[in-house]
Amino acid sequence: VLCLIIVVGVAFSYNFWNDVTGLYGHLAGVPKALLPGIGGRKVLDFWWETVNTRQLFSEVYLVTNADKYKHYERWATANGFPVENVVNDGTTTLEGRLGAVADLELAIRSRRLQDDIMVIAGDMLCADQNFDIAQVIRFFRSKPGELVIYYELEEGEKSSSRGIVEVCPDTHRVTCFLEKPQQGRTTSRLASVVFYCLRRETLPYLSRFLSLQPCVQNRTLGLFWEWLINEEKVPVFGMKLPTGFQLIGQVGLDDYTKWLARYSAKQQGSAGKPISYRSYARVGLMGNPSDGFHGKTIAMTVSNFWAEVTLTESQSLVLLPHPLNDPTEFGSLQDLYCISCKEGYLGGLRLLQATCKKFYQFCSEQGIALSKQNFTLKYDTNIPRQVYKFFFPFFSAIVSATLKCLMKFFNITDRDLPKPIRANFILNVETDELFITAGLQDRVVQVYEGLVYMDFSKELMGKRGYGEYIPMDMRDLPTFWLAYLGDPSDSGRIHSNVRQRWLNVKLPGSGGAVVGLCLDSERLMAMKDAFQEAGCVFCVIVPFSPTTTSSQCRN
Q: How far apart are CA 253 and CA 16, in angstroms?
A: 8
Helices then strands, counting H and E runs in the chain, come out as 19, 20
Q: Which residues are catalytic?
A: 442
Determine contact, residues 456/464, Cβ cutoff 8 Å: no
Q: What is the DSSP letter of 458?
A: H
Q: How far apart are CA 528 and CA 123, in angstroms?
A: 70
Q: How far apart are CA 531 and CA 489, in angstroms?
A: 18
Q: How far apart are CA 547 and CA 551, in angstroms?
A: 8
User: Got the DSSP string for 285-318?
Assistant: EESTTGGGGT-EEEEEEEEEEEEEEEEEEESS-E
Q: 109: Cβ–Cβ under 8 A, 6 or more apart, which residues?
A: none
DSSP-derived pairing of the beta strands 275-286 and 245-246: unpaired
Q: How far apart are CA 438 and CA 440, in angstroms?
A: 7
Q: How far apart are CA 409 and CA 313, in angstroms?
A: 9
Determine contact, residues 302/282, Cβ cutoff 8 Å: yes
- Residue among 481, 398, 501 nearest 442 (CA): 398
User: What single letter denotes the amino acid at residue 191?
Assistant: A
Q: How far apart are CA 249 and CA 159, in angstroms?
A: 14
- Residue among 158, 119, 370 nearest 243 (CA): 370
Q: Classify residue 88 as exposed, middle or buried by CB count within 10 Å of its CB (0-12, 13-18, 19+).
A: middle
Q: Classify residue 231 as exposed, middle or buried by CB count within 10 Å of its CB (0-12, 13-18, 19+).
A: exposed
